[in-house]
Chain A
C-alpha cells in the first residue's frame, strides 16, 4: 500500500475514526478533571518528511510526548504531544491545583501526565476497537520531554521505511479559556492501515 494512493474517501474514513476515538478520549478526560472540554475537528494530514518537525511551530520548542505501541490487533503507535503550558495545566487540573504557568515537572507529575495520556489513548483505542470490530491493546506509556522535532521524528521514522510521506491524524482540544492543546497522532503501520480500511469495506490497491 502506498500513502500516495490515499484518496478523499480514505481520508474521510480516517477523519471519522479519529472523530469517534478522540470524542471518546475527551469525554474520559473531562470526567477525570471535572471540567468541560471541547475538541477541534480532527485533521488527517499527509506531510512531506521535511514538513514534519515544524507542524507544532519550531522544531526546537520544548514539548511533552507520551508514546504507546499498539500491541494487539493492529501494528502501529500512538503519540500524544502536549505543549508545555498545556502539560502543566493538565497536571494542575488532575491534582486540583490552580494553574500558574509552566514549571519543571517532577517524577510524580510526569507519572500523572503519563496516566492522562494512558486514559486518552485507552479511550481512543476502545472506540476504534468497537468501530472496526478488532480487539486492540496498547502498551504502557513512555514519556519524554524534549524538542518537538525530535519527538515527532519518531512517527516520521516509522513511515520513512516505506514512504517519503507521513500520515498524521491530529486532534486538539480546548478547556474553557485555558486552551489545552493536545495533538494526538495515530500512526498505523502501512499493512495495518489496509486492515483498518478493510473494516470499512475500502481497499487500497498497491504494494
Chain B
C-alpha cells in the first residue's frame, strides 16, 4: 500500500491511519502534538500556536490554542474508537526564533506553549513518550504511524528520530 504524507497546517488538526505519515513543516514557537494509539492503528496531530484560548472564542479556530486544540484532537480520537488508556503522545517545537534584549513576551511564547501542552496532556492522562522542544531553531516533523516514530528535521541542528 502506498504511504501518503498528510500535511497539517498552522493551527490545524488531522487524523490519519498507517501506512500514512503526519507532517507539519517549519514549526517555530508552535508545538506539534501527536496523540497515537499504542497498537499503531491511527494517530492525530495538532499544530498549536498559543497556550490558552480566550473566553470569547465564537467563530475562532479551536486548533490554535493548546487547551482547546488538544481536547478537540482527543475528542476526535475517542469518536473514531480510541480507548482512553491506550493513548500515547509525542511533542516537538516551542523554539524561540529571535532573541531580543527587550522583554518581549511574544518571543517567549514557545516555552509557554510547551508548558501548556504538557499540562493538558497530563490532565488527559496521556503519557509523553518523547519530546524535542525548545532551542532557537525551526523544526519539520514527520510522524510514522506504523512504527510510532517521530522524525525531526532542522537546518543546521541535524535530524533525529524520537
Contact = CB atoms under 8 A, between A and B. Distances in A.
Contacts, number: 111
Interface residues of B, number: 34
Contact of A150 (B60, B97, B100, B106): B97
B138 A154 contact: no
A85 interface: no
A66 to B, nearest CB: 9
Interface in A127-174: 139-140, 142-154, 156-158, 160-161, 164
Contact of B29 (A52, A65, A153): A153
Q: Is the interface of A mostly helix, strand, loop or mixed?
A: mixed
A71 interface: yes
A77 interface: yes
A146 B50 contact: no
A53 interface: yes
Given A49-B11, A50-B12, A157-B109, A147 B26 contact: yes
Contacts of A160: 11, 49-50, 64
Q: Is the interface of B mostly helix, strand, loop or mixed?
A: loop
A140 B10 CA distance: 29
Contact of B101 (A49, A58, A139): A139
25 contacts: A49-B11, A53-B10, A60-B153, A65-B97, A65-B98, A67-B98, A69-B100, A69-B104, A139-B100, A139-B101, A145-B156, A146-B28, A146-B138, A147-B26, A148-B26, A150-B28, A150-B97, A150-B138, A153-B10, A154-B98, A157-B50, A157-B106, A158-B106, A161-B50, A164-B11
Instruction: Please list the 6 inter-chain residue pairs (A to B) with the smallest Cβ-Cβ separation, ordered nearest first.
Output: A149-B26, A150-B138, A50-B9, A150-B28, A59-B26, A147-B138
